[in-house]
Amino acid sequence: FSPIGEVKRFIDILALHKLNVFHWHLTDDQGWRIEIRRYPALTQTGSVRRGTVVGDHRTSSEYTDEPYGGYYTQDEIREVVAYAAERGIMVIPEIEMPGHAVAALAAYPWLGCAGGPYEVMRTWGVSEDVLCIGKESTLGFLKDVLTEVLELFPSEYIHIGGDEAGKQAWKSCPKCRRRMADEELKNEDELQSYLICRVEKFLNGHGRKLLGWDEIMEGGLAPNATVMVWRGEEGGVRAVKAGHRVVMTPGKFCYLDSYQDAPQFQPEASGGYLPLANVYSYDPVSPAFTEEEAKLIYGVQGNLWAEYIPTDEHYEYMAYPRLLAIAEVAWSEPANKSYPDFRGRVCREIGWLRDRGYHPFPLEQEL
């Protein structure tokens, strides 16, 4: 969680490099970060976890016993959206459903299949605790939340998450089984699609478009959805061939929470190795596309997940300079790109960032 002063400092850097969308991931298993007036427990309960896993979450069983929390008030959100708009940047909020929603479940256990109790997660990864799609009250909750979200964010797109939802609970939940029978849904993937399609209808009815992670393709893609491709690039090819718009952010090139240099000399990061040169080498437009299809590649995005990024200084270290490579990938013709030229310009830019109090990775020390 970063206070809005830091968020604005980040937006300054986006603006400087023609990065014109700020995708703001506001809800997850480990914290709900946006005030929703109709559901105060989302922030009262859902914004705080009682501790945090120490080290690699796949192997560690050690936790701090220090509460960690934070959320943005609606006034703060408006301030950030206005600040970004003045700089030509659209803020797209992400409200995760039906997975990555444990913080919401902790606040309102009736949203889940089993009814809880749930606890805001202290560790990372994927949870089997997800929203119950069998209950109309879950849909009502999502519409209420999105109604407030739409008032705060004028963006054409609203990101509804959709990634990494555990689907076990739906198999044994009588309400979810009933929904599947009533709607003639063949499996849990189709149950997830059912939810996404209903949410899309709601958003479209309010003049907005639905954006979601590529899992929303499983079980049938909502008719007007835009897909944010994070797993493999082939997901982007499939979505484009089906006539859908796509934002490309594959882990292999765009996950700025990966190691940017030899891991043994770097602060602990999420898995994966992604040095500046690899980010720069990315071409989001697959050669498999016709010219018409290529127009459906709406953009490219860098992702900076913060599980292993405990401080603002640290996220700056992860973001810069790799985010500058994302900007050049987004705006340059591949034929005009030159890594040696880019690297030289980046080294000067790093000095500029340092002069302004940012904490970029010292590229000159790259191994």
- Least Å distance, CB 173 to Zn ion, is 3
Minimum CB distance to ligand ACM smaller for 93 or for 134: 93
In the complex, residue closest to ligand ACM by CB:
163
- The pair of structure tokens assigned to 48 is 């705080």
314 binds, among ligand ACM, Zn ion, none (CB under 5 to 8 A by kind): none
> CA 206 to CA 204: how far, in whole Å?
5
What phi and psi, each to the nearest 5 degrees, are found at residue 255? -90, 100
Q: Which of residues 169-208 bind Zn ion (CB under 5 A)?
A: 173, 175-176
Question: 176 and 114 in contact (C-beta within 8 Å)?
Answer: no
- Interaction between residue 132 and Zn ion (CB under 5 A): yes
98 binds, among Zn ion, ligand ACM, none (CB under 5 to 8 A by kind): none
Binding residue (CB under 5 A) for Zn ion from 113, 269, 346, 363: 113
> CA 248 to CA 34: how far, in whole Å?
26
Catalytic residue among 23, 25, 28, 200: 28
Question: 24 and 94 in contact (C-beta within 8 Å)?
Answer: yes
Is 257 among the catalytic positions? no
Pairing state between β 297-300 and 246-248: parallel
Q: Write down the H helix ranges in the chain.
A: 4-16, 41-44, 74-86, 102-107, 136-152, 168-172, 174-182, 188-205, 233-241, 251-254, 276-280, 291-294, 312-319, 322-331, 339-355
- The pair of structure tokens assigned to 63 is 């936790």
Minimum CB distance to ligand ACM smaller for 100 or for 245: 100
213 binds, among ligand ACM, Zn ion, none (CB under 5 to 8 A by kind): ligand ACM
- Least Å distance, CB 230 to ligand ACM, is 4
- The pair of structure tokens assigned to 14 is 């986006």
DSSP percent split of the chain into helix, strand, coil, nearest 5: 45, 15, 45
By CB atoms closer than 10 A (0-12, 13-18, 19+), residue 285 is middle
- Least Å distance, CB 25 to ligand ACM, is 9
Catalytic residue among 76, 164, 283, 307: 164
Binding residue (CB under 6 A) for ligand ACM from 213, 298, 317, 358: 213
Is 189 among the catalytic positions? no
Length of the chain: 367
Q: Which of residues 149-208 bind ligand ACM (CB under 6 A)?
A: 163-164
For helices 4-16 and 74-86, what crossing angle results, to 10°?
20
- Interaction between residue 307 and ligand ACM (CB under 6 A): no
- Interaction between residue 298 and ligand ACM (CB under 6 A): no
- Least Å distance, CB 316 to ligand ACM, is 21
Catalytic residue among 23, 94, 96, 100: 100
- Least Å distance, CB 95 to Zn ion, is 19
Minimum CB distance to ligand ACM smaller for 112 or for 161: 161
Distances (CA, A) of 103 to 32, 72, 118, 190, 231: 6, 15, 8, 24, 24
- The pair of structure tokens assigned to 130 is 């997800």
Query: Cis link prior to 321 (omega < 30° from 0)?
Result: yes
- Least Å distance, CB 27 to ligand ACM, is 13
Is 128 among the catalytic positions? no
Question: 253 and 279 in contact (C-beta within 8 Å)?
Answer: yes
163 binds, among ligand ACM, Zn ion, none (CB under 5 to 8 A by kind): ligand ACM
175 binds, among ligand ACM, Zn ion, none (CB under 5 to 8 A by kind): Zn ion
Contact set with Zn ion (CB under 5 A): 113, 132, 134, 173, 175-176
Question: Would you name the residues annotated as active-site residues?
Answer: 28, 100, 164
Contact set with ligand ACM (CB under 6 A): 163-164, 213, 230
